[in-house]
Amino acid sequence: MQIPEQSVLLRIFIGEDDRADGRPLYEAIVLKARELHLAGATVLRGGLGYGQSSQLHTAKILRLSEDLPLVVEIVDSEEKINAFLPVLETMMSSGLVTLEKVQVLHYGAPKA
């Protein structure tokens, strides 16, 4: 699989407790992206954050949070990301979604 040099980064900010069809939302997003043959997806867990509610979510021992902030990042062509957005919309009830243009410098292993 190839990714165009001029691509798009889809960044999805959600909480660890967010769900879609009974499974963690971050997992549902990654599995759907894979099913639709997007180039790849990565889930990053944040140690501290807040969203629209301004409620702080932290991984500090004295303030254990069960709803840590997560970011799902997906990079692919603009066309494939735009086709994924309506699917993503049906999965999410809250969160933040951003897009930015990126330049892909390297993707995949070197050819032998």
How many domains, the chain? 1
Mean pLDDT per 10-residue segment, the chain (112 residues):
91 94 96 96 90 74 70 97 98 95 88 66
> Of 52, 32, 43, which Cα lies nearest the Cα of 94?
52
Indicate whether 112 belongs to any domain: no
- Host domain of residue 23: 6-103
- What is the CA 76 to chain-centroid distance, rounded? 12
Separation between Cα atoms, residue 58 and residue 47, nearest integer Å? 6
Cα 49 to Cα 18: distance, rounded to the nearest angstrom: 15
- Residue 108 within a domain: no
Note whether 27 and 35 are within 8 A (CB). Answer: no
- Residues whose CB is less than 8 angstroms from the CB of residue 17 and which lie 6 or more positions away in sequence, other chains included: 66, 67
Whole-prediction pTM: 0.87
